[in-house]
Amino acid sequence: MNEKRKKLLAKVAYLYYIENQTQAEISKALGIYRTTISRMLATAKKEGIVKIDISGFDSNVFALEEYFRKKYALQQVEIAVSHSTATEIHKDEALAETAASFIRNLVADNQVVGISWGATLSRMIEKLENRHVENTVFCPLAGGPSHINSKYHVNTLVYEMARKFHGKSAFVNATVVQESERLAQGILRSKYFQDILGYWEHLDIAIVGVGGSLDESSNSQWRDLLTAEDYQVLAQNKAVGECSCRFFDQTGQLVHNELQKRTIGIPLEKIGELPKSVAIARGKSKAQAILAMLRKKYINCLVSDRETIIAILRLDQDDSFKTSSLDQER
């Protein structure tokens, strides 16, 4: 590129970025078509004449969000930022804060919002700042745990979220896994459950957590509802995780059909059809499960952290981003 051309690009960039002139104003002043001005600004950035620095934040995080969003055809991706050496507690807190901000901006008037449950969503709701919405209903996406825990029970989370948005609540009075298909179908067909089914048919947003490891010894509040035979079948079918208590393999295909029929929860296929289906999850142990959900397109929005996002990419044979280049103090 000759110096005359480079100087003109620099002048256009100066007028636009420093003098804050519009492209139309620059076009008029220099006698250059507006479309040409737009191309010149793009060239100035490409050639390094203009370098944009985002002060106080690592732009690699935004680059990773955009790369991941486009790769998996998602609507939105939000990455929680914390140092790679931070404790798991601090990483969980960072995720909760990022998710709370995302969800607060997402919920609007006249919506039906469904929520699953667990520690991750509980922390997110605790971080939510109050916001008033009109005529919005919050409902559970699955039944409750095997024993009442006021902090993580789905009804508690629904109530707390509705309270923070000044919305309405709907509750479920059944455990997520029943002893038989007959009992589960009886609940789903019962008169009291019709309101929940009605809300599921009109959902605008689903907010879900993701379960990973199938370790029987975990302190999950509901997996003790599973039998030894259930665990055996899930292992045989190579289940990698669950969402709203629906188990799936690495391709996202649902497994253990008999257990599916005993589960009180919205079908994952239904979640995938919604305008906004948001998964909030972090941890390398959940990376395979999240990837499976992305492959099957059960979700269109994801809130996670960098190490989880990079772990997902590597499981998908993609080393485009390196963890070391994204380390940042929070």
CATH code assigned at 247: 3.40.50.1360
Q: Which two tokens stand for residue 214?
A: 């199938």
Looking up residue 36, the CATH number of its domain turns out to be: 1.10.10.60
Give yes or no for a contact between 110 and 136, defined as CB atoms under 8 angstroms apart: yes
Average confidence (pLDDT) over 303-327: 84
pLDDT of residue 210 exceeding 50, the answer is yes
Same domain, 162 and 128: yes
Distances (CA, A) of 278 to 26, 115, 208, 289: 42, 10, 6, 14
Query: Between vectors from CA 150 to CA 104 and to CA 205, what angle results, nearest 5°?
Result: 30
Same domain, 197 and 263: yes
Per-residue model confidence (pLDDT) at position 200: 97
Q: How many domains does the chain have?
A: 2
pLDDT per residue over 250-265, tens digit each? Answer: 999 999 999 999 999 9
Q: 239 CB contacts (<8 Å, ≥6 apart)?
A: 214, 247, 248, 249, 255, 256
Give yes or no for a contact between 209 and 117, defined as CB atoms under 8 angstroms apart: yes
pLDDT of residue 328 exceeding 50, the answer is no
Cβ density class 187-209: b for 16+ within 10 Å, e for less: beeeeebeebeebbeebbbbbbb
Same domain, 18 and 91: no
Per-residue model confidence (pLDDT) at position 330: 40
End-to-end CA distance of the chain: 41
pLDDT of residue 324 exceeding 50, the answer is no
Per-residue model confidence (pLDDT) at position 327: 46
Per-residue model confidence (pLDDT) at position 215: 65
Per-residue model confidence (pLDDT) at position 29: 87
Nearest to 102, CA basis, from 297, 301, 268: 301
Instruction: Tell me which of 3-7, 32-36, 100-104, 310-314 is least confident.
Output: 3-7
Confidence of residue 150 (pLDDT cuts 50, 70, 90): low
Same domain, 38 and 105: no
- Give the C-alpha separation, 249 to 235, whole Å: 10
Average confidence (pLDDT) over 100-117: 96
Residue with tokens 């799936």: 248
Q: Is residue 52 part of a domain?
A: no
Q: Which two tokens stand for residue 96?
A: 């909760």
Confidence of residue 267 (pLDDT cuts 50, 70, 90): very high
Alpha-helix runs per DSSP H in the chain? 3-13, 23-30, 34-46, 59-71, 88-106, 119-127, 154-165, 181-189, 194-201, 228-236, 257-261, 268-272, 287-296, 306-315
Same domain, 112 and 30: no
Per-residue model confidence (pLDDT) at position 323: 54
pLDDT per residue over 154-193, tens digit each? Answer: 999 999 999 999 999 999 999 999 999 999 999 999 999 9
Average confidence (pLDDT) over 111-138: 95
Q: What sign results for the dihedral spanned by CA atoms 228, 231, 232, 233?
A: positive
Q: Which two tokens stand for residue 260?
A: 């599916």
Average confidence (pLDDT) over 280-295: 96
3-state SS of 103-156 is HHHHCCCCCEEEECCCHHHHHHHHHCCCCCCCCCEEEECECECCCCCCCCCHHH
Per-residue model confidence (pLDDT) at position 201: 97
Confidence of residue 149 (pLDDT cuts 50, 70, 90): low
| Average pLDDT value for the chain | 91
Higher pLDDT, 324 or 84: 84
Residue with tokens 């220099």: 30
Confidence of residue 56 (pLDDT cuts 50, 70, 90): low
Give yes or no for a contact between 254 and 247, defined as CB atoms under 8 angstroms apart: yes
Q: Is residue 264 part of a domain?
A: yes
Same domain, 16 and 157: no
pLDDT per residue over 214-226, tens digit each? Answer: 765 555 667 778 9
Q: Which domain holds residue 123?
A: 59-326
Same domain, 152 and 272: yes
Residue with tokens 């790769």: 71
Average confidence (pLDDT) over 37-48: 93
